[in-house]
Structure 1
């Protein structure tokens, strides 16, 4: 089985894609995450999108909720 690391799956780029699809800025996404008790700032969102910050399972769960996508959308191999 060929497995890839989360970084190779471009999760940050997928977060950017789905955020922009909804017409949200990084600041907007951070604000939406905070409404569901996920304390991420716009700077943290930037770091995620640029592969400079790892996500916790809780944060991934909240991102899928706010971006209206399922886990497969973020973890599917390119």
Structure 2
């Protein structure tokens, strides 16, 4: 199976996810439970792996994480946009 990575990262939201989760005072277990209300099968260990950049994040997981954390996708992807600004 081909490994999917971007600049040696499994995802580009690990730091921002941890930041926003802690801003809301959520544990990884609480975040996983809230994700499950969106019918996303994710547990605390998977959240940990995302935050430690050892698991990819699907587009629907990103969308639901943003809903749960009450932010928009641009907030979650800010570090990426700063590193790779739009070309004119």
Output the TM-score relative to the length of structure 1. 0.85
Structure of larger gyration radius: 2
CA drift at 1:10: 4.7
Find the aligned partners of 1:64 and 1:58 in 2 and give their Cα distance: 10
State the 4+ residue runs in structure 1 displaced beyond 2 angstroms: none
Structure 1 unpaired stretches of 5+: none
| 1:32-71 deviation per Cα after TM superposition (whole angstroms, max 9, x unaligned) | 0001111110000000000000100010010000000100
Q: Could you say which structure has the higher helix fraction?
A: 1
SS of residue paired to 2:30: helix
Q: How much is the aligned-residue C-alpha RMSD, in angstroms?
A: 1.7
The residue that corresponds to 1:59 in the other structure is 61
